[in-house]
């Protein structure tokens, strides 16, 4: 998205190409059995993202913004058609609601960690995301335990500054 906002047509085309399957999956899990509505919603969301791209805040992760646009388009669709969901499907919808959020959070986390030094990113992934102990992470990386602790500490400080927009 950043490249597209900066005028890079190739980057923007790549973004739009990547969004189509993500949006199909997002709407497909919520609009089961209505493929025409899924495609309509994908197209409406793509147009909304394109026309509202100027409202995207570069300091924030892109995926939650894009999924928020998609959710609003889906809500608009339901309001137009007064679509109701059988109570039997509610549990499935609620469970599936977290899937895209988790997938997009993973993509956003990878993007954030890519901004750190490889040593810091590796230490944070091992200890905070994979749940390894400091000793296990140190053994895996061939580092000392104190080096892992320092890398995690400094990496988390850098991430906090980046998320707050201080870097």
**Can you give the pTM of this predicted structure?**
0.49
Q: Supply the mean pLDDT for the chain.
A: 81
Domains 1-108 and 115-167 share a fold: no
Provide the pLDDT for residue 130.
80
Write down the domain spans for the chain. 1-108, 115-167
Topology classification of domain 115-167: Arc Repressor Mutant, subunit A (1.10.10)
Q: Three-state SS string across the chain, please?
A: CHHHHCCCHHHHHHHHHHHHHHHHHHHHCCCCCCHHHHHHHHHHHHHHHHHCHHHCCCCCCHHHHHHHHHHHHHHHHHHHHCCCCCHHHHHHHHHHHHHHHHHHHHHHHHHHHHCCCHHHHHHHHHHHHCCCCHHHHHHHHCCCHHHHHHHHHHHHHHHHHHHHCCC
pLDDT digits (tens, 9 = 90+) for 44-87: 999 999 999 888 888 888 888 899 899 889 888 877 765 555 55
pLDDT digits (tens, 9 = 90+) for 105-122: 566 677 788 889 999 999
Domain 1-108 has CATH 2.60.120: no
């Amino acid at each position: 998205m950043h490249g597209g906002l900066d005028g890079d047509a190739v980057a923007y085309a790549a973004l739009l190409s990547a969004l189509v399957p993500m949006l199909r999956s997002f709407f497909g899990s919520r609009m089961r059995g209505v493929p025409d509505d899924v495609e309509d919603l994908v197209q409406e969301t793509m147009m909304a993202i394109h026309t509202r791209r100027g409202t995207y805040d570069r300091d924030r992760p892109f995926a939650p913004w894009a999924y928020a646009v998609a959710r609003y388009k889906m809500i608009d669709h339901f309001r137009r058609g007064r679509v109701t969901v059988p109570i039997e499907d509610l549990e499935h919808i609620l469970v599936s609601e977290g899937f895209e959020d988790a997938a997009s959070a993973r993509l956003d986390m990878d993007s954030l960690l890519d901004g750190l030094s490889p040593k810091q990113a590796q230490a944070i992934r091992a200890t905070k995301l994979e749940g390894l102990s400091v000793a296990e992470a140190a053994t895996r990386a061939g580092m000392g335990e104190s080096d892992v602790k320092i890398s995690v500490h400094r990496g988390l400080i850098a991430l906090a500054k980046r998320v707050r927009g201080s870097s």
